[in-house]
Amino acid sequence: MALLPEPLPARFWVRYAAWSLDAVCLFPGIAILGGAPLRAAWAQCTTSLQQLTADMSRLLDAALAQGQAPTAMALAWLSDPHLLASIDQLQSALFTLALLPPALYAVLACAWSLGFEASRGQATPGKRALGLQVIRMDGQAMTVGIALRRFLAAGLSWLTLNLGHAMAAFAPYLALHDRLSHTRVVAASPGLPAWAKLWLGMQAAAFLLACLWLFQWLQALMQASMSAALGGL
């Protein structure tokens, strides 16, 4: 009786490509559930930055006019109610922008992962598109309990600033959550297909463009705020 070939371990980049495909599928749900509060937080962030710049310009002008020492100027800034209010509003907006999307993603991804990885196919749509499958190390069938343990363990891979995910780049190609849940991801064939390489390249280009846009937006916002502050002198 011929022995079945040992399944190939899935490498880091093919696993990332599969994860990113699944993440794109979840984006509409995040947009629907978090659209209104995220738009409000973005508007509040813009307004708070403008107000913060104006408050700082006002306090700096007052300090220069009064010839305040650096210590006295710092104390005046720390006790100014308008400046503190602007900082609190900005902090609240940034808190929402930074934490709400990951929280919504975690909830949706949990249902997504459990539903698909505990199914007969043992793979999310992103993994299936790249010929990947999640299996147990003991050879038994995946269950909802094992899939949940794997998903919760993946939180530690994120909390280690993705060092847990990076472990999959080195032999034996197991991420931290693979080891903790006693599972592994196997591939139907080695390497990345051409379309997946293009997909990764598009993500890299989109990331660079997003960074450039954010830098230009912040620069334009600061310039507009400074111009408004100087125009009021």
Residue 3 forms part of a structural domain: no
> What pTM was computed for the model?
0.83
The rounded mean pLDDT for the chain is 88
Would residue 175 count as lying in a domain? yes
Label residue 190 exposed, middle or buried (CB < 10 Å: 0-12, 13-18, 19+).
exposed
pLDDT score recorded for residue 40: 96
pLDDT per residue over 207-227, tens digit each?
A: 999 999 989 988 887 777 666
Judge whether residue 83 has pLDDT over 70: yes
Residue 1 forms part of a structural domain: no
Asked if residue 69 is part of any domain, the answer here is yes
Q: Is residue 86 part of a domain?
A: yes
Region at 112 (left for phi over 0; alpha for psi -120 to 50; beta for the rest)? alpha
- Domain holding 175, by residue range, is 8-231
Per-residue pLDDT at 5: 63
Average pLDDT for 69-78: 74
> Could you give the number of structural domains in the chain?
1
Residue 228 has pLDDT above 70, yes or no: no
Residues 6+ apart with CB under 8 A from 9: 172, 173, 174, 184, 185, 186, 187
Does residue 88 lie within any of the structural domains? yes
Q: Give the lowest-confidence range in 52-56, 70-74, 98-102, 201-205.
A: 70-74
Looking at residue 2, its pLDDT comes to: 45
As a whole number of angstroms, the distance between CA 176 and CA 170 comes to: 12
| Tokens coding 195 | 């379309």
Residue range 145-203, pLDDT digits in tens: 999 999 999 999 999 889 999 999 999 999 999 999 999 999 988 889 999 999 999 99
Asked if the model's pLDDT at residue 92 lies above 70, the reply is yes
The answer to whether residues 98 and 90 touch, using CB atoms and an 8 Å cutoff, is no
Is residue 2 in a domain?
A: no
